[in-house]
Chain A
Amino acid sequence: MQRRQYSMKLITILSVLCLLVLPNCTSDKSKKKQQDVDLEDFLSEDEIFDDIDKAKKIFYALPSPLETAMLIKSAGAEYDEQLLNSVDNTRNYTSSKSLALNLGIYTTDLSFASLFDQTQTSIKYMEAARTMAEGLDITDAIDDETIRRLNDNLNNRDVIMDIISETFLNSSSYLKENDRPAVATVVLIGGWIEGLYIATQMVSDDNIQDNKLVDRISEQKLSFKIVQRMLTDNLKDQTGRENADIAELTEELEVLRAVYDKIKVETSEIKVEPDETTKVATLKSQTKITITPEVFKELRVTVSNLRTNFVQ
């Protein structure tokens, strides 16, 4: 009880000092026009608080393979099986990094095929994801029961979505709870790159302007900032030892950062509009995306090269 009172006093003193001495502790309302949303800026003030409370836990959420596939579909993408990573490649993956990347890649492919009701393909890709998970010693994420449930519900897309969601939850929770968060990060990045690959391949040169899919791809700049944070956070383990897979991936994704730096995503302030009938709030704001056709083509080539490297 005494310890708690002492902590409260310490926090109060530090907060007062923070308000008096550091101008960054107060929010700057004057910059409320349009701004380039940047997680670096977003985080800068919180880092001050992190210095006070080292125990604070930070989570970064990338779109999962299922959400990625959904975002591509809702932006107007059509199904093209040629774009998926062939299940014949499963035997090529033996290293931890390639298994993790392709667990993410196959899960995005599985989600994509399922959203377009490609049932037989879905089963093949669930098996491929299972092979990757087993290669990573993730036990019970995808088992015979999962495949049986999938087979029994081929005409029920809601159940299929639930099965995919659950298998991904099983994998990621297993990795995180067994002190392998770096592997979980690589899985997520693999799935995210696959979504980016599928989406960029679906935009032809004569259809870059005013294309919803191009906007969706450009907006991934926001998620790329999260990718960078996840990589930084997982570069070293608890003992301070560098993770070679994360270091390698960080270097490989540097080319993507260079291209995304050429794309501008500006957002206005958000106004919340509650709806008492539907109970769904609408976050009203505007986004201005600036991307030239040349930069888009560069992005497509960059993503394709990265993905080719990951699946070979």
Chain B
Amino acid sequence: MKRILQVLFIIILIASVNPFVGAQCKGFAKKICKLELIPFIHDGNYHANILTEGEEAELYKTFYSGQDYRLAVCGSDALGVIEFQVIDGYKNVLFDNREQNNVRLWDFKLESSQQLKITIKVPVGTGESEYPASGCVAIMFGFKEK
């Protein structure tokens, strides 16, 4: 019995320290990032994952004409500012948050429907920690009812 309790204690300890165990970014997306979308309506889709500094991710989505969109890219405090770009099918960079004071949001509308790519990058930190920092990153979309 004592041995079982010891094993359970170790498992709980590892789970509480290691962010990869039971990677849960739902709470972060729902309670923190989703608030950035207000007054837009969140579309309900879930795009979040644990990323490590230096890591990149891409998201592909079709955006439709006549709709007002808000894009929010959020990261856990441990990760610092998440860099993101919006790129069109011709590889043109339409938006780069590094050129806009590292904002987390972009509001836009389209004259015609387009497929766009959102690239995100967790910058490499300057900390002296032996291990690179990890944390949740969420990409969320909101729109307005017409």
A residues near B, CB below 8 A? 1, 4, 7, 27, 31-32, 35, 37, 39, 41-43, 45-46, 53, 55-67, 70-71, 73-74, 115, 157-158, 161-162, 164-170, 172-174, 176-177, 184, 188, 216, 219, 222-223, 225-226, 229, 265, 267-270, 272, 279-287
B residues near A, CB below 8 A? 22-26, 29-30, 34, 41-49, 51, 54-68, 88-92, 94-95, 106-115, 117, 124, 130, 132, 139, 141, 143, 145-146
Complex CA–CA separation, A222 to B112 (angstroms): 12
Residue with the highest number of chain B CB atoms closer than 10 Å, among A71, A272, A283, A284:
A283
Q: Does the CB pair A279–B107 fall under 8 Å?
A: yes
14 A–B contacts, CB within 8 A, in A order:
A7-B54, A31-B90, A57-B58, A61-B60, A63-B62, A64-B45, A70-B143, A165-B44, A170-B26, A173-B30, A177-B23, A184-B46, A219-B113, A283-B111
Complex CA–CA separation, A55 to B58 (angstroms): 11
Residue with the highest number of chain A CB atoms closer than 10 Å, among B45, B67, B108, B143:
B45
Residue with the highest number of chain B CB atoms closer than 10 Å, among A166, A167, A267:
A267
Q: Does the CB pair A56–B67 fall under 8 Å?
A: no
Residue with the highest number of chain A CB atoms closer than 10 Å, among B48, B56, B145:
B145
Q: Does the CB pair B111–A161 fall under 8 Å?
A: no
Other than the given A61-B61, A170-B26, A272-B94, 5 more pairs (CB < 8 A) read: A39-B60, A164-B44, A165-B42, A270-B90, A281-B107
Q: Does the CB pair A287–B113 fall under 8 Å?
A: yes
Residue with the highest number of chain B CB atoms closer than 10 Å, among A61, A73, A158, A177:
A61
A281 and B95 in contact, given A35-B89, A56-B57 (Cβ under 8 angstroms): yes
Residues of A within 8 A of B88 (CB): 269-270
Residues of B within 8 A of A184 (CB): 46
Complex CA–CA separation, A7 to B124 (angstroms): 12
State which of B24, B42, B108 has its C-beta within 8 Å of the C-beta of A177. Answer: B24
Q: Does the CB pair B139–A65 fall under 8 Å?
A: no
Q: Does the CB pair A169–B44 fall under 8 Å?
A: yes
User: In this complex, what residue of B is CB-closest to A66?
Assistant: B44
Q: Does the CB pair A60–B43 fall under 8 Å?
A: no
Residues of A within 8 A of B30 (CB): 166, 169, 173
Complex CA–CA separation, A162 to B39 (angstroms): 11
Q: Does the CB pair B29–A283 fall under 8 Å?
A: no
Complex CA–CA separation, A32 to B145 (angstroms): 33
State which of B24, B107, B145 has its C-beta within 8 Å of the C-beta of A280. Answer: B107
